[in-house]
Amino acid sequence: MEEEQQQKTEKIFSVSNYVKIVNQGLKSFRAKIIGEVSEVNFGPTGHVYFSLKDEKDGSIIKCIIWKSRYQLYGVGLEEGVKIIAFGYPEIYPPSGRLSFMAEVIEHAGEGILKKEYEKLKRKLTEEGLFKEERKRAIPKYCQKIGLITSRQGAVLADFLNNLGRFGFKVKMTDSRVEGQMAVADILLSIRTFKKQDIEVLVIMRGGGSLESMMAFNNELLVREIANFPVPVIAAIGHHKDIPLAALSADYSVSTPTAAAGLLNEPWKQAVLFLERYERATIGFYENVLENVKINLKNSWEKSIFGFKSLLSAISQRLEHSVKIVYLNNPERQLRLGYSIASIYGKIIRRVDDAKIGENIDLRVVDGKIISEVKNINKND
């Protein structure tokens, strides 16, 4: 064991290799440090070289922040400004100089944060970025929703639990939403959704201090929201100062439940309209059917009355006809003393209907008499 350790100790590294090994190890010392900015220099490529000084004992550490990150966070570095930097130490091989590689920078202290907030708010207000006429209406009956928030916490659950069952299709991007370090995540999410087929974008997080809301007061992020291709709903909780991202959004609410309600409302109104229309339609047809029923009843009553009148008229005519038939019934005449004469079943009406020698059937009330024609006398 001792021999192995001795071999490692005796191993010889080149300066370059050793610096690489040290730098790999130094990355494990990532941390947030706070100090006062001094000796600010802007390089020809836009990178910023500065120092952070401890206000207690004057200790100094050299720092570097690359151009892209410096522009991202919008924190102006100048001497005397107190900031918090997140990053790691690194040795620069050509000079052997140790520098703190700042990945994220932010103002330190609520006083300066408030001051910078008001300064940026005033600038963007003068540009007209927050004007009402810039706001776009949320499409009625939209279904395709883009959602940016953190999967952690109750915010996401509150939103989804209150979103009605109206066929919504939600595309969600998990993003940091806490502090200055969230800026890059949120910007990437917004830019990703630019390429997605969505009808509205919802950005959410719960309430918090001014420090925790710093990402939503970032100028680049605020401009991305204002210029997003579809309407944006900001559901960002706050206590006092409204985040600038919420001011630039088309709609601003304080809770995820309110954001869900905003999307639900047109659908709820549509359902209410359909229910009212359904009731009106049913009521209309009920009235029509009732009128038809009344008309049918009236028509039936009229038909029954007419039928009864017709039956009465027919009955009277039948009675009259019966009387006529009765009065003209030959059998009635027989009972009055008359007889009916016929030859071969043909009634004799004239003398020419009979011939001498033919038998005459003479029908009387109680039978028939058969006689032979002996003589025929015609009236003169």
Percentages helix, strand, coil for the chain, rounded to the nearest 5?
45, 25, 30
Which tokens in the block code for residue 113?
């944060």
Which tokens in the block code for residue 170?
């939600």
| Cα distance between residue 84 and residue 105, in whole Å | 6
Q: What is the pLDDT of residue 9?
A: 64
Q: What is the pLDDT of residue 274?
A: 84
Q: What are phi and psi of 231, to 5 degrees?
A: -55, 145
Helix (H, G, I), strand (E, B) or coil at 328: coil
pTM for the complete prediction?
0.66
Mean pLDDT of 214-231: 94
Q: What are phi and psi of 59, to 5 degrees?
A: -60, 140
| Cα distance between residue 70 and residue 245, in whole Å | 20
Q: What is the pLDDT of residue 331?
A: 66
Please report, rounded to a whole number, the percentage of residues in the chain having pLDDT higher than 90: 49
Q: What is the pLDDT of residue 212?
A: 83
Q: Transcribe 205-234 into DSSP letters.
A: E----TTTTGGGG-HHHHHHHHT-SS-EEE
Q: What is the pLDDT of residue 64?
A: 95
348 vs 41 pLDDT, higher one: 41
How are beta strands 97-107 and 60-65 bridged, if at all?
parallel
Helix (H, G, I), strand (E, B) or coil at 167: coil
DSSP 163: S
pLDDT in tens, 291-349: 888 878 777 777 777 777 878 888 888 887 777 766 666 666 666 667 778 888 788 87
The kind and range of the H/E element at 32 are: strand 31-42
Nearest to 367 by CA among 340, 327, 336, 329: 340
Q: What are phi and psi of 131, to 5 degrees?
A: -65, 145
Mean predicted lDDT score pLDDT of the chain = 87
- Mention every residue, 6+ apart, whose C-beta is less than 8 A from residue 354: 343, 348, 360, 373, 376
Buried b (16+ CB within 10 A) or exposed e, 236-269: bbbeebbbbbbbbbbbbbbbbbbbbebbbeebee
* Maximum alpha-carbon separation in the chain: 183
* CATH topology assigned to domain 16-109: OB fold (Dihydrolipoamide Acetyltransferase, E2P) (2.40.50)
> Thinking of the domain 141-266, which architecture would CATH place it in?
3-Layer(aba) Sandwich (3.40)
Complete edge-to-edge strand list for the sheet that includes strand 340-343: 346-347, 340-343, 359-364, 367-372
Domain segments of the chain as ranges: 16-109, 141-266, 331-372
- Mention every residue, 6+ apart, whose C-beta is less than 8 A from residue 366: none
Buried b (16+ CB within 10 A) or exposed e, 321-355: eeeeeeeeeeeeeeeeeeeebbeeeeebeeeeebe
pLDDT band at 263 (very low <50, low <70, confident <90, very high): very high
Helix (H, G, I), strand (E, B) or coil at 88: strand
pLDDT band at 135 (very low <50, low <70, confident <90, very high): very high
Mean pLDDT of 93-121: 90
Mean pLDDT of 274-282: 83
Nearest to 364 by CA among 342, 339, 345: 339
- Give the highest mean pLDDT range of 111-120, 217-226, 316-325, 328-337: 217-226
| Cα distance between residue 210 and residue 227, in whole Å | 24
| Cα distance between residue 11 and residue 327, in whole Å | 156
pLDDT band at 47 (very low <50, low <70, confident <90, very high): very high
Asked, colleague to colleague, whether 16-109 and 141-266 share their fold, the answer is no
Helix (H, G, I), strand (E, B) or coil at 14: coil
User: 């922040």: which residue's tokens?
Assistant: 65
